[in-house]
Amino acid sequence: MRQLLQNLRTGELKIEEVPAPALQPGGVVVRNHYSLVSAGTERAAMAFAQQGLIGKARSRPDLVRQVMNKVRTDGLVTAYRSAMERLNTYLPLGYSSAGEVLEVGAEVPDVAVGDLVACAGAGYASHSEVVFVPKNLVVKLPEGVSPCQGAFATLGAIALQGVRRADLTPGEKVAVIGLGLVGQLTVQILHAYGFPVLGLDVDPGRVEDARKWGMEGHGIIGRDDVDAMAHAFSGGLGVDAVIVTASTDTSEPVELAGRILRERGRVSLVGDVGMDVPRRPYYDRELDIRVSRSYGPGRYDPVYEEWGVDYPIAYARWTERRNMEEFLRLVALGRLNVDEMTTHTFPIGQARDAYKLIFENPDHESFLGVLLEYPTSGGPVKRRLELGTPAGLQGKGSGVVKVGLIGGGMFARGTILPALKVLDRAQVRAVATATGRTAQDLAMRNGCDYATTDYRELLEDKEIDLVIIATRHNLHAPIAVEALRAGKHVYVEKPLALDLEELQAVANAASGSQGLLMVGYNRRFAPLAIRAREHFVNRSTPLLAHYRINAGAVPADHWVHDPVEGGGRILGEVCHFVDLLHFLVGAPPRSVFASRLPANGRHVLADDNVLAALDFADGSRGSILYSALGADSMPKEMLEVMGDGKSATLDNFRTLDLYRGSRKSSRKSGGDKGHNAQFRALVDTILRGGGPPAPLEEVLLSSMATLCIVRSLSETSPVQVDTSSLLQDTATQLIEDAPWRTTGTGEP
């Protein structure tokens, strides 16, 4: 299928053949008929992408801070590689489309194959022939509403939410500043509901276009005395509300609104404008400013948008989905006319011409609603795209480990793939991700044979030796079980499992598989960690170890905190530190006791600040202090180990100080945490035979001990690390209950 993509570093637009997106539970796959180009939003994205690195840094200082923090924690090379990888990404454009439902996932009761629907959401309703959209961002088109009209639904919901934020009552008079596409939709909605409207814009053509939608007053900012017009329009009182739908870096629309509003009037800010609010007019008349956030309640909430949990209508009457439904209802009744707002339609193959019209337009051709049109039939959905090896990316020939990568997040991009690229005896054959553009991009840049959105293609591919699982955490164990049962060697990025049942299933699958199982506990392969372990070899006493981790804050709404999808930061990251203590001690953990700071809203999250004590079978003791409350300038990790008259301190994998009696020696490594070494060891083992580089029983014990930390926090008591049940036969049940299973008509 074809999709319009933009390079985040250069701003380049290209139309690419990519695999169709995977069907997932809680959503639908739609063949787009039309998608709408949002000039304001996409202009901002284009402008940012076309800036140089310095311009991007000035525009997004928050991202610069993230990079600097990564430099402090992971080193300059890793931070630079990660930043460049992110900038070289091709991103989808568009967020408002309409078309025909091709496949329906589980838990979508009110949509059927063949329905015509409107779709919303950046990253979902993109400029693409086929899209996957979660159910709360999909609305069936009413009888008589065509897909080209339905493609306006998202923009219509934005306009409608701006009207709602103005908190209007019948009879109030409203001014709309900015008569672009959203502004003219706003004028139509206000007129449909019977509100007198004064339309204002700097562009005479926009004002003239909007006159047909029933405005009772209109003016050209900069030419007409719009203050006097508003005074006359409101009978000398000032307008009751102003809806700002303009797009400008200046604060002039906010200043104008302050001049023409009545006392205690209201401003609804929809457009991207400057917000330097002049105090005097706003204070003197006690004016309210209300920011309208996109399509309505639910926007930017992953629980609503991604997981499909609706807000109760008694408490949130108008969600983004219900705003879309209301907009389409008005279109169906003939109260809104979007057909006359459509000035241009381009086939998807000419999408770049549409953007030239909007963003370059040397002839100053007038435009308003610009649609991209797609073929309405295209045969079966194709989720595999065959690729020729790109120039300069030659395969490494026979006698190498062929790799299939499942998952294409930043860790896979910035760490896993670079580590594999430097290995002479490894070659990535295929990439599978849920979105086709990510799979295609990574596969092309890494010389792969194909890209797919169906990971089972990799499990069934007889040429693939090693499957690397780098998805979100809830899929690690289920896919690992399938891959092991398919006879593949498996590398699972941590965590291995989110609960005991999953861990048991993986253990059982691994014990009966011809393939090796390895988990991404990379720190045990770090040169300084290996040297620290050697320092205490042949000791005569147990060890005492303290591991302090300045973890840094992760936003409360990040997926890693979700108990279903991410499992929390203890399972997602503390497992690393449990495993390194296990590696250094060389004896199995026997019991765990953990405590944490009480949660305090968004500032102190329960699993972000933990103290865990581990007892090992040889009498050694280890403690882990894991906190998100430290300063960003503090290095991330510090490990101290003592025993047998010796000591060691490992400072963020940069410096290792070793003490023996009165002697001290130091080693440096530049922050090498063992990522490359673990893959080198795994590839070598696959080629020469033998057990996994990290013994299976140690991997399972580290994972079990981490699960015990979570249990100890829940029970507020010590927990024994009991491995007696790790080989129960639960693998089959786990696969049957896997979260990607669907009950719809399409293949998962």
**Digit-coded pLDDT (tens) for 593-644:** 999 998 876 678 878 999 999 999 999 999 999 999 999 889 999 999 999 9
- Which domains does the chain carry? 2-151+302-373 (3.90.180.10), 155-291 (3.40.50.720), 384-521+684-691+731-736 (3.40.50.720), 524-678+698-720 (3.30.360.10)
Which comes out higher in pLDDT, residue 70 or 140?
140
For the stretch 362-385, what's the b/e string if a residue is b when 16 or more beta carbons lie within 10 angstroms of its beta carbon?
eeeeebbbbbbbbeeeeeebbbbb
Quote the pLDDT of residue 53: 56
**pLDDT above 90 (res 358):** no
DSSP state of 224: B
pLDDT band at 704 (very low <50, low <70, confident <90, very high): very high
**Digit-coded pLDDT (tens) for 121-154:** 999 999 999 999 999 999 999 999 999 999 999 9
Q: What is the mean pLDDT of the segment spanning 361-373?
A: 82
**pLDDT above 80 (res 734):** no
Q: Strand 217-220: give its sheet, edge to edge.
A: 217-220, 197-201, 174-177, 239-244, 261-269, 288-291
Quote the pLDDT of residue 741: 36
Q: Which residue has the tokens 């029983």?
A: 697
Quote the pLDDT of residue 68: 59
48 vs 422: CA distance, rounded Å: 33
| Residue 346 neighbours by CB under 8 Å, 6+ apart | 353, 354, 370, 371, 372, 373
Other C-beta atoms closer than 10 Å to the C-beta of 85 total 17
Torsional sign, CA 735, 736, 739, 742: positive
**Digit-coded pLDDT (tens) for 334-357:** 999 999 999 999 999 999 999 888
For the stretch 54-78, what's the b/e string if a residue is b when 16 or more beta carbons lie within 10 angstroms of its beta carbon?
eebeeeeeeeeebeeebbbbbbeeb
Torsional sign, CA 666, 667, 668, 674: negative
% of the chain surpassing 70 pLDDT: 88
Q: Which residue has the tokens 């305090």?
A: 600
> Alpha carbon of 481 to those of 116, 266, 429, 508, 736: distances in Å?
38, 58, 21, 9, 11
Quote the pLDDT of residue 466: 98
HEC readout, 47-76: HHHHCCHHHHHHHCHHHHHHHHHHHHHHCH
β-pairing, 450-452 vs 116-120, is: unpaired
Please tell me the least confidently modeled range out of 379-383, 396-400, 672-676. 396-400
Please tell me the least confidently modeled range out of 128-137, 312-321, 553-562. 553-562
Helix (H, G, I), strand (E, B) or coil at 479: helix
Which comes out higher in pLDDT, residue 609 or 380?
609
DSSP state of 634: S
pLDDT band at 76 (very low <50, low <70, confident <90, very high): low
Q: What is the mean pLDDT of the segment spanning 539-547?
A: 97
CB neighbour class for 246 (10 Å; exposed up to 12, middle 13-18, buried from 19): buried
Strand intervals (E) in 105-196: 116-120, 130-134, 138-140, 174-177
pLDDT band at 591 (very low <50, low <70, confident <90, very high): very high
Helix (H, G, I), strand (E, B) or coil at 485: helix
% of the chain surpassing 90 pLDDT: 78
Quote the pLDDT of residue 728: 53
pLDDT band at 738 (very low <50, low <70, confident <90, very high): very low
**Digit-coded pLDDT (tens) for 187-217:** 999 999 999 999 999 999 999 999 999 999 9
Quote the pLDDT of residue 735: 47
| Residue 499 neighbours by CB under 8 Å, 6+ apart | 707
**Digit-coded pLDDT (tens) for 6-18:** 887 778 899 999 9
Quote the pLDDT of residue 79: 61
DSSP state of 606: G
Per-range mean pLDDT, top range of 95-99, 628-632, 727-731, 738-742? 95-99
Q: What is the mean pLDDT of the segment spanning 379-393?
A: 75
CB 199, CB 218: distance < 8 Å: yes
Q: What is the CA radius of gyration of the chain?
A: 29
pLDDT band at 90 (very low <50, low <70, confident <90, very high): confident
Stated as kind and residue range, the H or E segment containing 687 is helix 675-688
**pLDDT above 70 (res 362):** no
- The phi, psi pair for 583, rounded to 5°, reads -65, -45
pTM of the model: 0.86
Please tell me the least confidently modeled range out of 263-277, 487-501, 673-687, 710-724. 710-724
**Digit-coded pLDDT (tens) for 670-682:** 899 999 999 999 9
Q: What is the mean pLDDT of the segment spanning 457-461?
A: 97
**Digit-coded pLDDT (tens) for 244-279:** 999 999 999 999 999 999 999 999 999 999 999 999
**pLDDT above 50 (res 747):** no
Quote the pLDDT of residue 54: 57
Q: What is the mean pLDDT of the segment spanning 384-412?
A: 78
Other C-beta atoms closer than 10 Å to the C-beta of 744 total 22
**pLDDT above 80 (res 310):** yes
pLDDT band at 64 (very low <50, low <70, confident <90, very high): low
- The phi, psi pair for 621, rounded to 5°, reads -130, 140
Stated as kind and residue range, the H or E segment containing 257 is helix 252-260
635 CB-side CA count, 13 A: 14
pLDDT band at 65 (very low <50, low <70, confident <90, very high): low
Cis link prior to 495 (omega < 30° from 0)? Answer: yes
- The phi, psi pair for 378, rounded to 5°, reads -160, 15
350 vs 354: CA distance, rounded Å: 7
Please tell me the least confidently modeled range out of 115-129, 170-184, 356-370, 649-663. 356-370
Quote the pLDDT of residue 221: 97
pLDDT band at 61 (very low <50, low <70, confident <90, very high): low
Both structure tokens of 650: 């490992």
CA dihedral 480, 481, 483, 485 (to 10 degrees): 160
By residue count, the chain amounts to 748
CB 182, CB 40: distance < 8 Å: yes
Q: What is the mean pLDDT of the segment spanning 352-373?
A: 84
β-pairing, 27-37 vs 90-92, is: unpaired
Quote the pLDDT of residue 365: 72
CB 125, CB 97: distance < 8 Å: yes
Quote the pLDDT of residue 55: 58
Mean pLDDT of the chain: 90
Quote the pLDDT of residue 75: 60
Other C-beta atoms closer than 10 Å to the C-beta of 655 total 16
678 vs 703: CA distance, rounded Å: 18
